[in-house]
Amino acid sequence: MAEKILTLPDFTIPARIDKVGVEERADRFTKRSIKKETKVKGLMLALNMIDLTTLEGKDTEGKVRQMCYKAVHLLDSYPNLPTVAAVCVYPEMVRIAKKAVGDSGVKVASVATAFPSGQSSLKIKLEETRYAVDEGADEIDMVISRGKFLRGEYNYVFDEIAAVKEACGPARLKVILETGELITFDKIRKASDIAMYAGADFIKTSTGKIPAASSIPVTLVMLEAIRDYYYKTGIMIGMKPAGGISKSKVALHYLVMVNEILGEDWMNNKWFRFGASSLANDVLMQLMKEKTGVYQGKDYFTID
284 lies in some domain: yes
27, part of any domain: no
* Strand stretches in the chain, DSSP E: 51-53, 86-89, 107-112, 139-143, 172-176, 202-204, 238-240
- Residue 174 in domain: yes
**Residue 102 domain flag:** yes
Q: Does residue 6 surpass a pLDDT of 90?
A: no
CATH for 160: 3.20.20.70
Span 250-256, mean pLDDT? 95
- Band (294; pLDDT cuts 50, 70, 90): low
Task: Give Cβ neighbours of residue 211 (< 8 Å, ≥ 6 apart).
Answer: 180
Contacts of 238 (CB under 8 A, 6+ apart): 172, 174, 201, 202, 203, 266, 270, 271, 272, 273
The answer to whether 108 touches 138, Cβ cutoff 8 Å, is: yes
Q: Give a yes or no: residue 3 inside a domain.
A: no
Bridge partners (DSSP) of residue 140 are 110, 173
Residue 2 included in any domain: no
| Number of domains making up the chain | 1
Strand partners, 142: 112, 175
Could you list the residue range(s) of the whole structural domain that residue 185 is in? 35-289
Measuring CA to CA, how many Å separate 134 from each of 80, 91, 148? 33, 10, 28
Q: Is residue 21 in a domain?
A: no
82 residue type, one letter = P
- pLDDT, position 241: 96
Instruction: Please tell me the distance from the alpha carbon of residue 145 to that of residue 56, in angstroms, as a whole number.
Output: 21
pTM of the full structure: 0.92
pLDDT digits (tens, 9 = 90+) for 95-125: 999 999 999 999 999 999 999 999 999 999 9
Q: What is the pLDDT of residues 34-49, one digit of tens each?
A: 777 788 899 999 999 9
- Residue 184 near residue 145 (C-beta atoms within 8 A): no
Residues with a catalytic annotation lie at 141, 204, 240
- What does the H/E/C string look like for 41-78? HHHHHHHHCEEEECCCCCCCHHHHHHHHHHHHHCCCCC
Max intra-chain CA distance, the chain:
58
Provide the pLDDT for residue 163.
Answer: 98
